[in-house]
Amino acid sequence: MAEQGEANEGFNNAITSLGEDISTLKKAAEQAALASVENAQALNGFAEGDEIVVTDKDGIKSIKTATKEDVKNADFEGMGLKEVVNDISKGVTANTDAIKNKADQIAVESVKTIAVDAQKSAQAAQGAVKEAQESAKAAQASAVTANNVASAAQTAAAQAQDAVKANEARVAANKADIATLQTASSQHAAGIAKNSARIDSLDKNVANLRKETRQGLAAQAALSGLFQPYSVGKFNVTAALGGFKSDTAVAVGAGYRFNENFAAKAGLAVGTSSGGSASYNVGVNYEW
């Protein structure tokens, strides 16, 4: 029973842990999705009143409505990287047209330098756009992976719950079996107690039989030692001692010979131990 309880507790702890893992994975998936939206926001920009993604000091992302202060504090004041690149390209074109209209070569060279710098800035901005796009793709892949892991964890939790239910059914069956065994054990104990009482009684009877047998054999030995009268018309009294193992008996007897052919005698034997029984015999003798 203790092992079944520990097993149930282990299953419940596993389910609780899986639930916590699923919650963590869901939060990670949400954060990854918000990161993807944030990257798109950096590319396309935003204006006051738009729904935007913001990141707090702990790195947690959330959605809010953009205010004028949000637009002012944003990189490029809410302009997306695409729009910034377009503005830079327009500036490069305008600078190129200005160069064509300048007569002063020094001014032309200066403008060329400015154009080259602007072109570099445009290329850098395009690189930033590509990096943002790749980051968005990576965030999207992370979100998909997190969702897959969460789904697998939910499946494992459902399987664990099924296992717990099956285990509970086995525990209930075991309880019923234990109750049956306890009832049978009580019945066996009563039968064993009854048999023990019978065995004790049988042991006592065997001991008594052994004692009576020894006493009887001792009495027979004593009776067999008694003499009969030999002379006609004579009466005799005789005594004898007999024994068998640790038991002894004393016998006394008397006899009378009526004639040469006929005689009679009787004897009585008593055991010397306490509780002994008496044995006796009577006999006649006829000879010719």
Alpha helices in 45-104 (DSSP H): 68-73, 81-101
Classify domain 225-286 at the CATH topology level. Pantoate--beta-alanine Ligase; Chain: A,domain 2 (3.30.1300)
Q: What is the mean pLDDT of each successive set of 10 residues along the chain, which is 288 residues long?
A: 64 70 75 76 76 82 82 71 69 61 59 69 70 76 81 85 89 92 90 91 89 92 93 95 93 96 96 84 93
Q: What is the pTM of this model?
A: 0.36
**Nearest-angstrom CA–CA distance, 57 and 73:** 16
Name the CA radius of gyration of the chain, rounded. Answer: 61
- What pLDDT does 98 receive? 58
- What pLDDT does 80 receive? 66
DSSP 243-263: EETTEEEEEEEEEEE-SSSEE
**Side-chain half-sphere of 93: how many Cα atoms within 13 Å?**
6
The neighbouring-strand residues paired with 42 are none
- What pLDDT does 95 receive? 61
